[in-house]
C-alpha cells in the first residue's frame, strides 16, 4: 500500500533527527555550536542533494561576511542624506537587518542542500544499538524482529527507482538504527547511552594523565548506570509498544533529506 509522505511529516522527522543528534552530542559533552551560532557540522552536517550544483566552496561564510559588510558600508555612505532625515533609529536598524537578511537568504538558496545527522553521530548510534542488541533479544525491541519488519514493509520500495537516492526511505540497516532513537518509548534511553559511549571514546583517545583516568572512570560509571536503568525496564517488561501498522513502520523509515522524499518547492 502506497504511503503518503506529506511535508509536515518530513519536517517533524527532520526536527526529531536534529534533536537526537544535538542531545547525543550534549550527553557526550561535545561543543554544540560554532562562532556563528550554527550547530557544528560534526553533529548536524549538510547533505548535498545534487553534487553538480554544489556551491560555497570558493567563498566561505567569513569571506561573504567581510564582503557584505563592505557593501553595507558603501550603501550607508551612499544613502547617508536620506538616513540622516530619519528621526526614528528603528528605521535605520530595520534597514540594516533587512539588508543583511537578504544577503543570507541569497547565500543559502543556491546551495541546494539539506541537513541530516552527521556520519560521526550515526556511527555512535549504530554502536549503541549493537552494544544493547543482546539485551533486546527475545523482547519487543529484539533487533532481529525490527530488521525483519523493516525488510518486509520496505520490500520493493528501493527496487522501484533507478537510483536508490530517489527512494523516500532509508536503507534497512539505517532504518533499524534510527528506529531505536526515533521511537519514543526507547529513544530517551538510547540517546543517553549513545552520548556516554561517544564521550567515553573521546576521553579514551586522550593521554593517560591522572585526571583523564578519573574522568574515564566517571563516564564509564555514568554509562553503566544508563545501561542498568534501561535493562531493568526491559526485565520488568515495561511497555515498549511497537508501531501497529505497516504505514507507521514506513513513516518511521522515511529519509527526510532524499530528493524522493521532497515535494517540489517544499523545503525539507
Checking if the pLDDT of 59 tops 70, the result is no
pLDDT at 198 over 50: yes
Q: 246 and 147 in one domain?
A: yes
85 & 146 share domain? no
Please check whether residues 206 and 81 belong to one and the same domain. no
b/e per residue 29-67 (b: at least 16 CB within 10 A): ebeeeeeeeebbebbbbeeebeeeeeeeeeeeeeeeeee
Query: Is residue 1 situated within a structural domain?
Result: no
Least confident window among 72-76, 122-126, 128-132, 249-253: 72-76
Same domain, 42 and 141: yes
Q: Is residue 153 part of a domain?
A: yes
What is the pLDDT, as a whole number, of residue 100?
A: 81
Question: d(Cα 162, Cα 158) in Å, to the nearest integer?
Answer: 8
Kindly state whether residue 29 falls inside one of the protein's structural domains: yes
Q: Domain check: are 66 and 198 in the same one?
A: no
Q: In the predicted model, what is the mean pLDDT of residues 24-34? A: 95
**Which of these, 171, 170, 179, lies nearest to 132 by C-alpha position?**
179
pLDDT higher for 71 or 128?
Answer: 128
Residue partners of 117: CB distance under 8 A and separation at least 6 = 17, 18, 20, 21, 43, 44, 45, 125
Picking from 73, 95, 111, the residue at the C-terminal end of a domain is: 111
Reply yes or no on whether the pLDDT at 212 is more than 50.
yes
Query: Domain check: are 78 and 101 in the same one?
Result: yes
pLDDT band, very low/low/confident/very high, at 193 (cuts 50, 70, 90): very high
Average pLDDT for 195-204: 92
Decide which of 216 and 247 is more confident: 247
Has residue 221 been placed in a domain? Answer: yes
pLDDT above 70: percentage of residues in the chain: 82
Number of domains, the chain: 2
Lowest mean pLDDT among 35-49, 84-98, 137-151: 84-98
42 falls within a domain: yes
Is the pLDDT score of 50 beyond 70?
A: no
**161 shares a domain with 243:** yes
At 109 the pLDDT is 61
* Band of residue 110 on the pLDDT scale cut at 50, 70, 90: low
Q: Are residues 88 and 201 in the same domain?
A: no
pLDDT of residue 131: 96
Decide if 201 is inside a domain: yes
Residue 265 confidence (pLDDT) above 60? no
Mean pLDDT for 70-88 is 81
Assign 268 a pLDDT band (cuts: 50, 70, 90). very low
What confidence tier does 72 reach under pLDDT thresholds 50, 70, 90? Answer: confident
Identify the burial level of 118 via C-beta atoms within 10 angstroms of its C-beta, where 0-12 means exposed, 13-18 middle and 19 or more buried. buried
Alpha carbons 45 and 142: distance in angstroms, whole number:
30
**267 within a domain of the structure (yes/no):** no
- Average pLDDT along the chain: 83
Identify whether residues 39 and 102 lie together within a single domain.
Answer: no
Is 2 inside any structural domain? no
Pairing of strands 44-48, 113-117: antiparallel
The answer on 79 and 175 residing in a single domain is no
pLDDT at 108 over 90: no
The residue segments making up the domain with residue 88 are 61-111
Amino acid at each position: 500500500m502506497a504511503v503518503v509522505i506529506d511535508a509536515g511529516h518530513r519536517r517533524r522527522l527532520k526536527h526529531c533527527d536534529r534533536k537526537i543528534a544535538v542531545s547525543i552530542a550534549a550527553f557526550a559533552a561535545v561543543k554544540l555550536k560554532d562562532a556563528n551560532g550554527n550547530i557544528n557540522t560534526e553533529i548536524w552536517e549538510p547533505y548535498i542533494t545534487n553534487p553538480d550544483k554544489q556551491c560555497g566552496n570558493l567563498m566561505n561564510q567569513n569571506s561573504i561576511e567581510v564582503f557584505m559588510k563592505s557593501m553595507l558600508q558603501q550603501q550607508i555612505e551612499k544613502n547617508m542624506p536620506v538616513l540622516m532625515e530619519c528621526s526614528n533609529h528603528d528605521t535605520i536598524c530595520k534597514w540594516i537587518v533587512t539588508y543583511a537578511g537578504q544577503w543570507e537568504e541569497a547565500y543559502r538558496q543556491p546551495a541546494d542542500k539539506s541537513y541530516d545527522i552527521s556520519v560521526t553521530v550515526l556511527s555512535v548510534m549504530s554502536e549503541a544499538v549493537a552494544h544493547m542488541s543482546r539485551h533486546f533479544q527475545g523482547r519487543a525491541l529484539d533487533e532481529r524482529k525490527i530488521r525483519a519488519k523493516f525488510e518486509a514493509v520496505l520490500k520493493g520500495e528501493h527496487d522501484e527507482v533507478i537510483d536508490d537516492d530517489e527512494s523516500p526511505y532509508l536503507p534497512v540497516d539505517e532504518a533499524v538504527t534510527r528506529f531505536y532513537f526515533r521511537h519514543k518509548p526507547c529513544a530517551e534511553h538510547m540517546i543517553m547511552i549513545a552520548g556516554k559511549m561517544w564521550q567515553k571514546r573521546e576521553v579514551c583517545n586522550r593521554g593517560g594523565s591522572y585526571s583523564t583516568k578519573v574522568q574515564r572512570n566517571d563516564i564509564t560509571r555514568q554509562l553503566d548506570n544508563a545501561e542498568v536503568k534501561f535493562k531493568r525496564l526491559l526485565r520488568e517488561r515495561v511497555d515498549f509498544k511497537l508501531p501497529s501498522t505497516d504505514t507507521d513502520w514506513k513513516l518511521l523509515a522515511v529519509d527526510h533529506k532524499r530528493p524522493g522524499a521532497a515535494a517540489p518547492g517544499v523545503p525539507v
